[in-house]
Structure 1
Amino acid sequence: MENNTTSEENEKEQKSTKDENGQQDEHNTTEDESGSKEEQSATKEDNVEQQQEEQKEEKRQESSEASGFGSGIPKESAESQKSWKSQATESKDEKQRQTTESNTIESIMVGKAWELCNATAGYDYIPCLDNEAAIKKLTSRRHFEHRERHCPEDPPTCLVSLPDGYKESIKWPESRNKIWYHNVPHTKLAEVKGHQNWVKVTGEFLTFPGGGTQFIHGALHYIDFLQQALKNIAWGKRTRVVLDVGCGVASFGGFLFERDVIAMSLAPKDEHEAQVQFALERKIPAISAVMGSKRLPFPSRVFDLIHCARCRVPWHNEGGMLLLELNRMLRPGGYFVWSATPVYQKLEEDVQIWKEMSALTKSMCWELVTINKDKLNGIGAAIYQKPTTNECYEKRKRNRPPMCKNNDDANAAWYVPLQACMHKVPTNVVERGSKWPVNWPRRLQTPPYWLNSSQMGIYGKPAPRDFTTDYEHWKHVVSKVYMNEIGLSWSNVRNVMDMRAVYGGFAAALKDLQVTYPRSYDLLHADHLFSKLRPRCNLVPVMAEVDRIVRPGGKLIVRDEANVIREIENMLKSLHWDVHLTFSKHQEGILSAQKGFWRPDTSP
């Protein structure tokens, strides 16, 4: 142990000092000798006390590890952290931090007077999409710039109001078929799309018959139609991760769960009101975004299949810029399913779009694998496959669309302007995207082929071992700590956002608990997120955002440094959240809290 070594060195130094003192002038006074002995005795006593304290700490640490707290939390490697301090030094520093921080935290947060947001969007307020000042300054809306993210420079610290009559959301899987009307009180979509089986108003509920423009006889029938059209899709095996563009109310993604497939449903906040809000209330993962002038917020080569059913995206326009964005996100060998009128209708406009789309996909080296008609629904689907090598790119007679420049990072996604170019298929066997991942569910716990043993992982082990350690750690924490110690009822949790995922081990650990991932409102999980944000961010707007996206009745779990846990606890109390548990040991802590229905008083 580092601490024991330090103690032994201290004792050696003290003995050496004592020997040297013995060789000093024998004419030292009796009083000096007496004082020296007292000092040495006191030093020895201090060292004994320190050793005893360290032994106690070791026992506490072992106990803590057995229960899943404290040292059970993987530590980031020394490459990303400063050198570790001794326990004694750390305790001393912690006491100093507590002294300087506790007063300010208590005084600022416990008595904080929160206010409701004064926004036109009211209870649907999304700061980055409802920034009216930024939208007014736009010089063009041609590429739907007004539907894109425009985050305010100063993050809001206000709270979003609740709709009148809001109730605790309906549990999954019943929520897939109906939601409380008062939770998402929008009827325009039902009025416009009711005849197409999207959504209907039924008493105090909004109901979702499971159909849509392209699958009037149910989403499951349509999903099975695609499987029959191309066996190699292999839902829930080869195909696990899907992006559904222009998802509507997300029935396609909602019923893909029946085939062990998880879809990210994507739609803009537009004239159809908050389609994504319907999806999230139904407990289906979804994100508000638009295919406009910037890349979508996903890295490259991550989706097994991308789907568009009458999604109203002009794929063939402007050199195919939007289709090329799908090409960036699609794995080599992945499929694009296009179920739209140009595939199966012969109207003049449809014929022209099909002609242009055919030329574009051919120039992109996409193979048209099949076109199939669904006679029951009266629709059809074209299925394309992205190439797995660069051979076709190199043989093209015209370099259109062009290949992207070598210095263009395909993984860069935040606020990166779209370009009408393609990235090469990776050829290095240890590069992500050079081959197809293992089938699901083995993919869940098998280290990806591109994690190299020569690479040091975030926790200081070879990357593949790091990946496995992360998965095993979160399986233990989820089953032992969160279920037994915190008493979290996973049957009441559907969609989860892990706000600092690292390898995704927490999400993987939830697979057998029948909850979905990635974004929604039932549970937010933060593993050492706030201590990472704290040096560069004011945590007040962060907590306001947490409060905004968690449902009343939803929960927050935080694992972090003890002083950060105290700060978060005080903020949550000021928000009138019910803090169920706070637990701290050796500068590490855990907190569990539940949001209630409280909102600030609007009366003068």
Structure 2
Amino acid sequence: MFLSFTYPLCPFSDIVYIHIPGKILNTYILCYQGSTVFILSVRNVPYDWIINKKSNQHWLRKEGDKFFFPGGGTMFPNGVNSYVKLMQKLIPGMKNGIIRTAIDTGCGVASLGGDLLDHGILTVSLAPRDNHEAQVQFALERGIPAILGIISTQRLPFPSNSFDMAHCSRCLIPWTEHDGIYLLEIHRILRPGGFWVLSGPPINYEHRWRGWNTTVEEQKSDYDKLKKLLTSMCFKFYNKKDDIADPDSAWYTPLQPCLTIPSQKFKKLGLNFVPKWPNRLHSRWKVRVKHYKALLPAFGSDEIRNVMDMNTLYGGFATALIDSPLWVMNVVSSYGPNSLGVVYDRGLIGTYHDWCEPFSTYPRTYDLLHLDGLFTAESHRCEMKYVLLEMDRILRPNGYALIRESYYFIDAIATIAKGMRWDCEKQGTEYIMSKEKLLACQKKLWHANQTQDSGNDL
């Protein structure tokens, strides 16, 4: 049985509230397919909590020194591929390019995000570091876009109207608590006309409540509260609240208990106005990326999967790579022009960040880092050596960095990189008379006990 609630009277967004039915858990194993990794070395992510506590839900299994990802999950008893097919029946836009960007809150090991990649939907998998241990690290090791985060007291680091779809599969977020402030945050980042998909409590409580360690009365109460909350978003809050000040502000910005309503001037933000994928894209970076690939033969091959553009403006670098077997996390400076909304309008994903601080990810999770004038723009605020050390933290051994900077910074960067055991070569740009230089670097795999007298170059 499917339950679908729509609220067509909402003047700016039709929220679809969806139940994906659950069945008795079994040992169905999804065949390995698509572009994501289904086998990992245990040494890369040495955590057993999910294996020990979730073994009957088939998130992953351990065989010898390997992890296998069969595509299961708490609400995926028949595998994530079957789950996605059920979603597509309810949301046809998932099949024809209307829906391109999504966010999965409480993503587990990102089975959903991995499967959606095969359907042309780019998903940000979001999870905190909690007792599940390293959910996001599992996702990134598999080559699936993911970021550490939690809906708590601060806004998520995304602009308003970013995602075409948001998803929660028993993500344990108390949507009806605190006057619905967590659901209001989802509403802020969801594009007008976008979809919110929920499976798990309290949906289908009449048949599922016994497995949720609660009573049928409590689940019915939660269900009624949720329906009332969704209704109130469409009518009560909209009538009381005007546009809040700067709805795109999302860097250390507290959650606000009011509805974010797009300005009348921006009616074409709605999902029904956005061109279907891939017609959202156009690129002027092809010459530059062709030059990069000539410098790094591994670029564009299966060797590079997780890529970060550390200081993008409109996602041009990612756009030029759209046909390569990789994905790009576009990072927009929280102190620069507020252009992250444009990145999402183009069907790409990204986040705000201040490079004076650590990035919200695990060590060794990206294969290639690209920056273009980052130190020119931020050196007055952020000390160069600390930014480079953070780059070293998140870059995999044998991973690459492409650093495009002015002559003024390139030698200093090369000196610090040498102290971090990076092999770097200075290169010219694609333009002969350019005032910029390129530093093409590779991080080496080394052990401290091999060279005790080194590491003081910093």
TM-score of the two chains, using structure 2 as the length reference:
0.77
Report runs of 4+ in structure 1 exceeding 6 Å deviation: none
Higher strand share: 2
Larger mean CA deviation between 284-293 and 416-425 belongs to 416-425
Q: Does 1:179 align with 2:40?
A: yes
Correspondence for 1:436 among 260, 273, 277: 273
1:424 and 1:489 map into 2 onto residues whose CA distance is 41
Structure 2 partner of 1:11: none
Report whether the alignment pairs 1:314 with 2:159: no
Structure 2 CA distance for aligned equivalents of residues 174 and 572 of structure 1: 33
Q: AA paired with 1:423?
A: T
Give the alignment partner of residue 206 of structure 1, picking from 57, 67, 91. Answer: 67
Give distance in 1, aligned partners of 2:307 and 2:183: 30
Partner Cα distance (2:412, 2:428) in 1? 13
User: How far did residue 564 of structure 1 move?
Assistant: 1.2
Change (3 A) 1:401 1:191: farther
Aligned to 1:286: 146
- Gap change, CA 1:284 and 1:359, over 3 Å in 2: same
Any unmatched runs of 5+ in structure 2? 1-32, 210-215, 331-364, 454-458
Structure with the largest fraction of helix: 1
1:190 corresponds, among 39, 48, 51, to 51
Q: Are positions 1:497 and 2:326 aligned together?
A: no
Match of 2:247 in 1: 410
Residue aligning to 1:448: none
Tell me if the contact between 1:427 and 1:434 (Cα under 8 Å) persists in the aligned partners: no
Between the aligned partners of 1:204 and 1:567, the Cα distance in structure 2 is 42
Please tell me the root mean square deviation across aligned C-alpha atoms, in Å. 2.2
Distance 1:586 1:305 in 2: 42
SS at match of 1:410: coil
**TM-score (normalizing by structure 1):** 0.59
What is the identity percentage for the equivalent residue pairs of Structure 1 and Structure 2?
38
State the match for 1:559 in structure 2.
404
Query: Is the 1:333–1:436 Cα contact (8 Å) retained in structure 2?
Result: no
Aligned to 1:36: none
Q: Match for residue 482 of structure 1? A: 292
Residue equivalent to 2:221: 352
Match of 2:167, SS?
strand
Q: Alpha-carbon deviation of 1:173?
A: 6.3
Q: CA deviation at 1:404?
A: 4.5
The answer to whether the 8 Å contact 2:102/2:166 transfers is yes
**Matches of 2:199 and 2:73, distance apart in 1:** 12
Q: Which residue of 1 aligns with 2:456?
A: none
Given the alignment of the two structures, is residue 300 of structure 1 paired with residue 160 of structure 2, yes or no? Answer: yes
> Is the contact between residue 530 and residue 560 of structure 1 (CA under 8 Å) also seen in structure 2?
yes
Q: How does 1:263-282 map to 2 (within 5 A)?
A: 263-282=123-142
Rounded to whole Å, the distance in 2 between the matches of 1:532 and 1:565 is 14
Look up the SS of the partner of 2:59 in the other structure: coil
**What is residue 364 of structure 1 aligned with on the other side?**
233
Contact 1:428 1:434 in 2 (8 A): no
The secondary structure found in structure 2 opposite 1:300 is coil
Cα drift, residue 412 of structure 1: 0.5
Change (3 A) 1:223 1:175: closer
Q: Is the 8 A contact 1:403 1:423 kept in 2?
A: no
Instruction: Report the alpha carbon displacement of residue 429 of structure 1 after superposing the two structures with TM.
Output: 4.5
- 1:85-484, aligned counterparts within 5 Å? 176-231=37-92, 233-235=93-95, 237-346=97-206, 347=209, 348=216, 349-365=218-234, 396=235, 399-400=236-237, 403-404=240-241, 406=243, 408-429=245-266, 432=269, 436-445=273-282, 471-472=283-284, 474-479=285-290, 481-484=291-294
Equivalent residue number for residue 370 of structure 2: 525
* 2:233 counterpart letter in structure 1: M
Letter paired with 1:353: D
1:568 lines up with 2:413 in the alignment: yes
2:276 aligned counterpart, secondary structure: coil
Deviates more, 1:577-586 or 1:351-360: 577-586
Counterpart amino acid of residue 212 in structure 1: G
How many residues were matched structurally? 373
Give the number of the structure whose alpha-carbon radius of gyration is greater. 1
Superposed displacement of residue 351, structure 1: 1.6
Q: Which moved more, 1:401-410 or 1:583-592?
A: 401-410
Cα distance change of structure 1 residues 243 and 227 upon mapping to structure 2, 3 Å threshold: same
